[in-house]
Each structure stands twice: as structure tokens, then as C-alpha cells.
């Protein structure tokens, strides 16, 4: 779980985690303490949401989340998530069976009156606009193609996301969250964007993420503070008697204030 707390007199960031198998929950909290207005947002690649409503509600309650962005719901078109006290807004993946795709937002009922718009950009990008006090926020939940996807598929995703970020950041603070299937590394020349405490690997989706952040004045928040490796990775594949595969694939990218 990652936490960012924004106060009226400055910024204070820290990170924690709660691993669960190959899934991990990342949480972004932005608070304006002078007026006690707070928005708590998380993102989770659930790898299939069917029958996991209790887990989702437990995550929302445990971390006191107002909004949870969900990736890989594996829900068919027209099927949603029903949890008492929460509203669901989502879009199915490209596969008609639902498997392997689907994204959306789970919003606490008490926050729904602050939702101004839901925008289905594509099967891999969905936007949610909220007005918190006098500030507007566009949350963009994403699920990027894997790096083995065709170049055309990956380029289409990043082009659509960049265009949506540029469109929304003119009038609101933009937060991109979710599974980008990317690794952004912590090269010295990128410290002002990714911080100094990420991982060593870089892949093509990671490079596309960096290009987007440079062009749209955004920060990738995962690597800004030192933590144990187990508290940073968002993907774990258990390999039995071999070394586990671990990576940071899920991110919060936040528009500079």
C-alpha cells in the first residue's frame, strides 16, 4: 500500500504495503487538513473479481478508501459489481468472455454525490471526475497491454492515455493509477520524475510512462522514499523452489501542483 498525504502547508509522503499472493493494493491519500477534506484512493489488479466481493469490501473498509480503481475484473459486458454501500462504474475488456481484461471504479456511496462524470475512454482507460471542496480531480484507472503485445496495440494505448491526460489536466488535477505493465527504473536522469528508490529494471511500457510524465508534468510516486523491497513490489509470481519473480508494475502518477 502506498500513501501520499498532501497538507495545506506542504507535502509529506510515505509508503507501506500489504502483499496478498500475486496481488497488492496501492493507496493514494490526498488530504487538506485545514478544512479536513480528504480523498482516499486505491488501485488493485484483482485478476478476476468474481466471488471476491467480500475481499473488495474488506480492502475498502481496512484502508478507509473512498474510491478503489480495479484492473482485470474479467467481467463480461453489462455485468457489474454489487456491494452494499458502494457504487460500481466499469467497462468490459475486449475479450467477449471477459477473461483477461476489464477496468472500473468502486466508489463509496457517501462519495457518489461528488462524482461529476464517468468517462469510458477505451477498454483499458476509464476516467472518474470528483469535486472535493473547490478542487476537481480526474482519476484515470488503466490496464496497459503487456510488453509482448504488438507495437501497434501498445502505441494505441499510450496515445489514448496521453490525449486523455492532456484534455483533463487543463481544468483539474489528474491522477493516473493502475497496472501499466511497466517498469520505470530509477536512473539518475529521471530522479525528478520517479524518485531515487524504485527498482533497477526498465521496459518499453515503462519508457512510454516516463515520456507521458515528462510531457504532461507528472510524477511517478512509487519510488520517492526508501522502503524494503517487499514493501515496494506490486507483482509477485511464486516459483516454488526457484526465486520468485517480483516487479513494480502498478503505479500512481500525479500531476505536479
Instruction: Say which CATH number the domain at 219 has.
Output: 3.60.10.10
- Give the cell for residue 253: 502518477
pLDDT at 237: 67
- For residue 124, the tally of other CB atoms under 10 A from its CB is 24
pLDDT at 68: 97
Which stretches of the chain are DSSP H helices? Answer: 53-62, 151-168, 191-194, 204-216
Q: Which stretches of the chain score pLDDT less than 70?
A: 1-37, 227-231, 236-241, 244
> How do residues 158-174 score in pLDDT, each as one tens digit?
999 999 999 999 999 99
- Give the cell for residue 98: 471477459
pLDDT at 188: 76
- Give the cell for residue 32: 487538506
Domain span at residue 30 reads 2-255
Distance, CA of 140 to CA of 104 (rounded, Å)? 10
- Give 171-202 as a DSSP string: TSEEEEEEE----B---GGGHHHH-S-S-S-B
Give percent of the chain above pLDDT 70. 79
Q: What is the DSSP letter of 75?
A: P
Long-range contact pairs involving 11-16 (C-beta distance under 8 Å, separation at least 24): 13/221, 13/224, 13/225, 14/225, 15/222, 15/225, 15/227, 15/231, 15/232, 16/227, 16/231
Q: What is the CA radius of gyration of the chain?
A: 17
Domains held by the chain: number:
1
pLDDT at 66: 96
HEC letters along 208-233: HHHHHHHHHCEEEHHHCCCCCHHHCC
Q: What angle do CA 76, 81, 87 make, to 5 degrees?
A: 130
CA neighbours closer than 13 Å in the CB half-sphere of residue 235: 16
For residue 41, which of 83, 82, 4, 81 has the smallest C-alpha distance?
4
Amino acid at each position: 500500500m502506498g500513501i501520499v498525504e498532501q497538507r495545506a502547508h506542504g507535502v509529506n509522503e510515505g509508503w507501506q504495503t500489504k502483499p496478498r499472493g500475486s496481488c497488492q493494493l496501492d493507496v493514494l491519500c490526498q488530504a487538506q487538513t485545514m478544512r479536513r477534506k480528504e480523498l482516499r484512493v486505491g488501485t488493485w489488479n484483482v485478476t478476476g473479481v468474481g466471488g471476491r466481493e467480500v475481499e473488495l469490501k474488506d480492502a475498502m473498509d481496512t484502508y478507509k478508501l473512498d474510491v478503489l480503481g480495479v484492473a482485470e475484473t474479467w467481467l463480461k459486458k453489462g455485468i457489474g459489481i454489487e456491494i452494499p454501500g458502494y457504487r460500481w462504474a466499469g467497462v468490459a475488456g475486449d475479450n467477449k468472455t471477459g477473461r483477461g481484461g476489464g477496468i472500473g471504479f468502486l466508489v463509496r456511496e457517501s462519495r457518489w454525490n461528488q462524482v461529476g462524470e464517468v468517462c469510458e475512454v477505451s477498454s483499458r482507460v476509464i476516467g472518474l471526475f470528483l469535486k472535493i471542496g473547490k478542487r476537481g480531480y480526474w482519476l484515470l484507472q488503466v490496464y496497459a497491454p503487456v510488453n509482448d503485445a504488438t507495437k501497434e496495440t501498445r502505441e494505441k494505448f499510450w496515445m489514448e492515455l496521453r490525449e486523455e491526460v492532456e484534455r483533463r489536466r487543463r481544468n483539474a488535477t489528474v491522477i493516473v493509477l493502475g497496472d501499466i505493465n511497466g517498469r520505470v527504473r530509477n536512473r539518475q536522469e529521471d530522479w525528478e520524475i520517479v524518485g531515487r528508490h524504485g527498482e533497477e529494471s526498465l521496459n518499453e511500457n515503462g519508457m512510454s510512462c516516463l515520456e507521458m510524465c515528462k510531457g504532461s508534468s507528472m510524477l511517478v510516486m512509487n519510488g520517492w522514499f526508501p522502503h524494503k523491497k517487499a514493501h515496494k513490489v506490486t507483482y509477485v509470481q511464486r516459483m516454488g523452489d526457484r526465486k520468485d519473480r517480483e516487479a513494480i508494475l502498478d503505479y500512481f502518477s500525479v500531476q505536479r501542483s
